A = this chain, B = another copy of it.
Amino acid sequence: MRDAGEESAPLSRIQRMNRERILDAALDAFSERGFSGATLDRIAEIAGLSKPNLLYYFASKEAIHAALLTELLETWLAPLAQLDPEGHPRAELLAYVSRKLRMSRDMPRESRLFASEIFQGAPRLGDTLAGPLKRMVDDKAAVIARWQAEGRLTPDLDPHHLVMSVWALTQHYADFEVQARAVLGPERDPWAEAEGFLAAFYGRVLAR
């Protein structure tokens, strides 16, 4: 039961490896089937470990889930954090869209895990959403508002909603990939087209 929270001992080589395998397998399972739909047996199978062995590294199924979410949040905030207050408004925002889209494309499992959690009322992320996440968005929204006040960006779009629109559009390609593929047909590749579309889309939105 050496799980959770503050590690005191510095994790052996074998511990690091197995924790990694477990978390990766769990990400597969949770993102595909949701928390309830994922079973410890399935996670163990994907990880190539025995079920009791999972529970040697993590106290419970919930603990695995919690570990994934905690790890995820740092990653998820990164693209927005990089928005540079001193940069060129339009270029900065377009670069942000591009980063966020790339992240959704490269980490669809993480995207779905995050979404699933929000769907269920974010029981485990509630505080983090209202805390660090809100602070980060407030911070960047203030930057955007300043750009607007300086006349360097259209003033008629609320900054908070503008940021959320980026989340919505980029996550959509990850979370609803099946739908996008169905609608576009087997010949077209959603991801390949998404970048160009979003660039043109936000190009128009952000035009002076």
Contacts and interface: CB of A to CB of B under 8 A. Distances in A.
Interface of A: 32-37, 112, 115-116, 118-122, 126, 129-130, 133-134, 137, 154, 156-158, 160-161, 163-165, 167-169, 171-172, 175-176, 178-180, 182-185, 188, 193-194, 197, 200-201, 204-205, 207
A174 to B, nearest CB: 10
A163 to B, nearest CB: 8
A175 B164 CA distance: 13
Contact of A160 (B35, B36, B178, B183): B183
Nearest to A156: B200
Q: Most chain-B Cβ atoms within 10 A of its Cβ — which of A119, A163, A167, A197? A: A119
Contacts of A184: 160
A157 B197 contact: yes
Nearest to A137: B183
A139 to B, nearest CB: 12
The 10 A-B residue pairs with the shortest CB-CB distance, nearest first, are A168-B172, A36-B37, A129-B182, A36-B36, A161-B197, A34-B34, A130-B182, A168-B168, A122-B178, A137-B183
A84 to B, nearest CB: 21
A205 B207 CA distance: 9
Contact of A115 (B119, B169, B180, B183): B119
22 contacts: A32-B121, A33-B36, A34-B36, A34-B116, A115-B119, A115-B175, A115-B176, A116-B119, A119-B175, A130-B182, A154-B204, A156-B204, A157-B204, A160-B183, A160-B188, A165-B172, A167-B172, A167-B176, A168-B172, A169-B169, A171-B172, A205-B205
B185 A134 contact: yes
Nearest to A131: B182
A193 B118 contact: no
A193 B120 contact: no
A161 B188 CA distance: 12
A120 B172 contact: no
Contacts of A118: 175-176, 178-179
